[in-house]
Structure 1
Amino acid sequence: MKFLKVPHAFVLIYGIVILAFLMSYIIPAGEYERYENENGVTVVDETSFSFTEQTPVHWTEIFKVVPAGMIDAASIIFLIFIIGGAFGMINGTGAIEAGINKIVSLLKDREIILIPLTMLIFSFGGATFGMAESTLIFIPMGIILARSLGMDAMTGMAMVALGAASGFAGGFMNIFTVGVAQEIAGLPLFSGMFYRIIIQIVFVAIASFFVYRYGKNVQRDKTKSYVYALEQNAEQESYDFKRFTIRHSFVLGIILIGFIFIIYGVVQGWSTGTDLAAIFLAMGILSGFAGGNNANNIAEDFIKGAKEVTFGALIVGLARCILLILEDGTIIDTVIYAVSSVLEGFPATVAAVGMFFTQFVINFFIPSGSGQAATTIPLMAPIGDIVGVPRQSVVLAFQMGDGLSNYLFPTSAILMAGLSIAKIPYEKWLRFVWPVMLTWIIACSLFMVISLLIGYGPF
């Protein structure tokens, strides 16, 4: 219904910019002192808050702040563009699609292995290059494959979508979510990845259990399908598995070497944003030539890949405007002080779990990972400093809250597009996915508590 329609993310975030401008006239100005901790991260001194002279923002700033925000977030914006372009060059070779198709075609009669393995493969896509829109091209393949096993469209959709969601929420090397959030929080890029890999594997295991159990029930009794009417009218289709060539193996080898190099850099502590962009760029160019493309094709693929991440890149700059307005009005620390004063009454573990649920709900309104990171992390990170939640745990709360709810809320364009392709009504999907989501949420709460108990830090 029209009255339930959520505004475009750009409209919503610019509305928050205007609200922040108005609040600079209402909220008392205040400041914390900040210092560098032992890891070189600038953090808040929780005992130093004091009210200061009111400095309301001039109305012209609501327009001037937009280019200022883009400039202030330029390093993150161009990192997203370069890495998006690099993956465009890789995708232009067809190696990833051919590789997935090859593995799936080899195991299409062994569902007990096929379902978890397929979901694990898609999870690594979500965890590395933020596989989201690109899952849509695999949904028809997943559905045809599921039907060939005697299952249904729901099983095929879930194999692809929930697999990618598991990795996106784990996000051990997802520049578009974890990378942006860590950059804003002052953490080394992709630090803490080993804990996130464990989380990703647990998410995949949970989703695989539910998908396999549901698929086997449908296999035994077709009337158990949540989309039984759809299956009765489904036409027999075939999927043309792309031939996997020696060139594709070279491309996948280059990607593997590149990721090993990135992980090595993270462990050694020298993988900065510039290093990361350079490695991805080299991976993209080398993959393009190894895949048989010429220089012009590679350049076109780079532009195509960069175009696909334009929304996420620009929303980071727009969200930075909120921070600039709050800082210019000297009210950001007052907001932090007010929220942290409430949370200080609770144990740090409760505050950490509360941060996860907050990010989960916010994703209903801002279904963009990079946009949500740029909007919330500037507030959540210093709040974490005060209430005893490490910044790495703050980022963890964001990435899990954002990643999982993308496949629950109807405001997610990727979910609704996928359901449209699969011809699955949203209410049928909700009936299927809620037990998975509930189990994921419980697991997330436990992971947040564990992150505090182990002192989840930069590395």
Structure 2
Amino acid sequence: MDKPEKLKEKRKFKVPHVFVILFSVIIIASIATYIVPAGQYDTVVDENNRTIVVDGTYHTVDANPTSFLGIFQSIHKGMLNSAGIIFYIFIVGGSFGILHATGAISGAVGTISRKMSGKEYWLIPILMTFFALSGAMLGLAEETIPYITILVPLMALIGYDSMVGAAIVLLGTSAGFTAAFMNPFTVGVAQGIAEIPIFSGLGFRIVLWVIFLSVSIWYVMRYAKKVKADPTKSVLYGTEQESGDTATLEEMTTRHKIIFLILLATLVGLAVGVIKFEWYLTEIAGLFLLMGIAMGIVAKMSFDSIAESFIEGCRVLVMGALVVGVANAILVVLQDGGIMDTVLYGFSSVIGNLPSVLAAFGMYVVQCALNFIVPSGSGQAALTMPIMAPLSDLVGVTRQTAVLAFQFGDGISNIFSPTSGYFMAGLALARVPWSKWVKWIFPLILIHYTLGAIFVTIAHLIHFS
């Protein structure tokens, strides 16, 4: 009786690594260069200095199928094409690594928790807003995972459960990351590829962020209240494991406060730079590097420690940064094979026949589906925006709306999909089974997807640009 069960367990389907998936797509794209007719659109440069395709100018050209060796060469070409974005991700990520090493974030969480003693119920919205701002303005995701070890036991002591502790961090960060207004790794990268001003459309995105976060906070607070009133209502009731010793809560020091002032000054400088001086990736990366070094000096870290913390910050983002280059290899194959515009023509033929509102919605659906395959936000931007930006021009959707469709499509499933590495690591730290989490969060996921569809539709109707 045991043998068939063991065999069944061995044969259980496992989602392939993202690099395996992307390399498989490269091979499929290479084969397609032998089958799909090569074609091309005429392009022009508009008044905003953007290269746009001219509708109605698609024509066939000579085929240039990818060779066997070309399949492997495409990855190096993709890395070179994406070098600016890849090193931007590393520099910004490394700078946030220094911020994390200063202990300022831990101190802020500890201070907030202490000051809210006796008002524990309000810890949920305050901490979720804190983590949501981290996701929306700094693009933090993996970096917030260690705080689960603090909040899970803290929530248990208050009378909630591990689900609440995990949700404050995971759902708070994800809500901010999904509806971000200044995320350098998703909004910044996607807008750069779409050739629209970095962090443009800020006001509208802030409104969407407030709505998205408010719904998420309501969902967690409603559950927490129910569990505190009756512990048997917990999704984990009867199965929850001990979460370990309570982690020490740090106190926010004067140095930490200065570090947060440096962070605030950086964000203000960033806003001024991109709005008034049209800063791009190089200037933004330089500003964040300066921020990281200044924070390390204020924290009295040695220069060696600053360098090590920078490297650690880069290490966390190695996979995400390299995914950008590998994803770009797919575009290299499509472009060198002459079928990139043919793919674009096919998309526009299908979506272009729909009402433009449905065209925007269709782009959103495609992005939602792709995120289960390519969980990296920067990687998905590198893969899809070179197609979605010109497609939006052809079907009457603004490029800003196309970026918004990518943003929500990329972010929502990050706290649901088993292909999301940081999310699964967070659940493991909280000792919350994935099946229990899915059962609890599924209604909210449906609400999030509905909100995303509504926001993208509104953005299209108001010609968001």
Is this contact kept in 2: 1:218–1:224, CA < 8 A? yes
Where do 1:333-412 residues align within 5 Å? 333-412=341-420
Amino acid at match of 2:429: I
Q: Is the 8 A contact 1:90 1:288 kept in 2?
A: yes
Structure 1 stretch displaced more, 297-306 or 20-29: 297-306
My pick for the range that moved more, 62-71 or 221-230, is: 62-71
Q: Look up the SS of the partner of 1:35 in the other structure.
A: strand
Q: CA RMSD in A?
A: 1.5
TM-score of the two chains, using structure 1 as the length reference:
0.96
Q: Deviations over 1:159-183 (max 9, x none)?
A: 1110000111022222222222122
Match of 1:125 in 2: 134
Counterpart mapping for 1:406-421 below 5 A: 406-421=414-429
**Are positions 1:103 and 2:119 aligned together?**
no
Question: What residue in structure 2 maps to residue 322 of structure 1?
Answer: 330
Q: Deviations over 1:86-141 (max 9, x none)?
A: 11111121112211221122114324432111111001111123222122211122
Secondary structure, counterpart of 2:35 in structure 1? coil
> Residue 305 of structure 2 corresponds to which residue in structure 1?
297
Report the counterpart of residue 179 of structure 1 in structure 2: 188
1:40 partner SS? coil
Which amino acid is the alignment partner of residue 274 of structure 1? T
AA of the residue aligned to 2:89: I
> Are 1:167 and 2:145 counterparts?
no
Q: Does 1:56 align with 2:65?
A: yes
Question: Which sections of structure 1, spanning at least 5 residues, go unmatched?
Answer: none
Aligned match of 1:114: 123
Q: More deviation in 415-424 or 443-452? A: 415-424
Amino acid of the structure 2 residue aligned with 1:334:
T
Matches of 1:306 and 1:129 in 2, distance apart? 14
State the shift of 1:198 in Å. 1.6
Q: In 2 relative to 1, CA 222–242 (structure 1 residues): closer, same or farther, beyond 3 Å?
A: same
Whole-Å Cα distance in 1 between the matches of residues 114 and 418 of structure 2?
32
* 1:109 and 1:149 in contact (8 A); partners too: no
Instruction: Report runs of 4+ in structure 1 exceeding 2 Å deviation.
Output: 1-4, 233-239
In 2, the alpha carbon distance for the partners of 1:150 and 1:361 equals 38
Secondary structure of the 1:43 match is strand
SS in 2 for 1:229: coil
Identity %: 41
The question of 1:70 aligning with 2:79 is answered yes
| Structure 2: gaps spanning 5 or more residues | 1-8
Please point out which of 258, 262, 268 is paired with 2:276: 268
Moved more, 177-186 or 72-81: 177-186
> Quick one: distance in 2 between partners of 1:194 and 1:9?
34
1:310 and 2:318 are equivalent in the alignment: yes
Rate the CA distance shift 1:313–1:234 in 2: closer, same or farther, 3 A.
closer
Q: Partners of 2:409 and 2:118 in 1: how far apart?
A: 35
Residue 196 of structure 1 deviates from its aligned partner by 1.7
Find the aligned partners of 1:250 and 1:447 in 2 and give their Cα distance: 37
TM-score, normalized by length of structure 2? Answer: 0.95
Displacement, 1:269?
A: 4.6
How many aligned residue pairs are there? Answer: 456
Partner SS state of residue 330, structure 1: coil
Whether contact under 8 Å (2:397, 2:460) holds in the other structure is: yes
Following the alignment from structure 2 to structure 1, what is the Cα–Cα distance between the partners of residues 244 and 33? 61
Matches within 5 A, 1:12-27: 12-27=21-36
Counterpart of 1:246? 254
Distance 1:311 1:236, change over 3 A: closer
CA contact (8 A) 1:250 1:291 kept: no
